[in-house]
Structure 1
């Protein structure tokens, strides 16, 4: 993929997004949220690519993965009015189908098409499949980190906004109450990622977001979390019981102790 091809993919994405806007402001707010998220994930991907000194070709593939990682969200929201996969459709798999069936990547070499569609289709899996090749694994690890690094921003902004200004689909419909589910807290205390299926409240969802620290792949990703203060900003939105404080402590320790892979 050359720079001209990547620029063409950016133009296609912008044109595609415009087809989802309508006369409903709530709808458009949710669509704009995903457009902004995509732009910022692309920017984070550039930072991670710099830290790994990727070749120009691999950098462009990585940015294309970032550009398209949430392409399925637009059709998901139009059809189901939610970003909750369990109540609608797996947005990553849908994104892979949008790219493949629309022949969006038709001008690229077949290997690059496979790498991009594969990373898009798997970017939201709970754990990276063991059978992937090294290059598949590289781009999947990159997009998982870049995605998390901006999702933290999205939620921190959401928690600070008045209700009438929030993109309604962000909270996935969880009740905004201070209670945390014991099983969710226990998972954090073990230093493990929280499964979305175990959540009951918005506070649980915040704990899940904190548990993503355990799944970061690169040293620069951890540096960015620390530089941006994401753990503390999310922690400040929680009701700080003793158990919640212990869980936050485990997250802080993991963020400082783990160097990540190169």
Structure 2
């Protein structure tokens, strides 16, 4: 492993464990999950790097971005016990600010630092900014795909109103087996992304995650969703009434189409 990558991994592990020591009993579990999440995101980034034509000079920047992308999550969890970036603390923007105020990226050249900082700052945006450099945009796309893949895994594993993860998902989220927001179902039928702030019901949240297939960029991501069975498990959370059978058919068909396109 590259010594620079090892150095960042060691730093990240110490950083996460410091926050774990500050957390109360409920939040400790969430902090530990975020530490493991980061390593899995790094694994997905490496999967994308192996299977896509990525310029060599961006490989280390994509890996560093994966390691550092959630540094803002840890103070958010310890201080607020939530993953909701709409409650006054945006973990991506705060993470970039933490890195700017530290010497963590001093070993990189200026353009490289700005590429990593852009990936960290914008990885949770609904839409990728259009004013970034080509390199920053590509690294950001790699990170966003990798982050989404593990977020789906985590949500499936810990989704539920009684788990700390489920309670921390979104401020005011209401868990219900069947209820949903009709306008969100309409967005999905039109293959549009679901605005996070529009989510009210747990089924809205599941549809929000399902629509990530319309915001992926690499064949690796589509194939992983299919081969892992995670997309089918996500669809299984949705009821089989009203709009939902048509939504599920569309989402399955679209995922298959994206895979076939390569």
Same fold, judged at TM 0.5 (above): yes
1:167 correspondence with 2:127:
no
**What is aligned with 1:177?**
176
1:258 CA displacement: 2.6
Runs of 4+ more than 4 Å apart: 259-262
Q: Counterparts of 1:67 and 1:142 in 2: how far apart (Å)?
A: 13
Q: Counterparts of 2:145 and 2:175 in 1: how far apart (Å)?
A: 27
Per-residue CA deviations over 1:69-124 (Å, capped at 9, x if unaligned) read 11110011122221101113111100100111012111221121111011100111
Residues matched between the structures, number: 259
Cα RMSD of the aligned pairs, angstroms, is 2.0
**What is aligned with 1:151?**
151
**What is aligned with 1:208?**
208
**TM-score if structure 2 supplies the norm length?**
0.92
1:96 correspondence with 2:109:
no
Alpha-carbon distance change, 143 to 260 in structure 1, aligned in 2, over 3 angstroms = farther
Alpha-carbon distance change, 56 to 133 in structure 1, aligned in 2, over 3 angstroms = closer
Gaps of 5+ in 2: none
1:257 CA displacement: 1.6
1:5 correspondence with 2:4:
yes
Q: Secondary structure at the match of 2:243?
A: helix
1:169 CA displacement: 4.6
Mapping 1:97-246, distance limit 5 Å: 97-159=97-159, 163=162, 166-167=164-165, 169-173=167-171, 174-178=173-177, 179-246=179-246
1:131 CA displacement: 2.1
Per-residue CA deviations over 1:111-153 (Å, capped at 9, x if unaligned) read 2111101110011111112222211110011011001010000
**TM-score if structure 1 supplies the norm length?**
0.92
Gaps of 5+ in 1: none
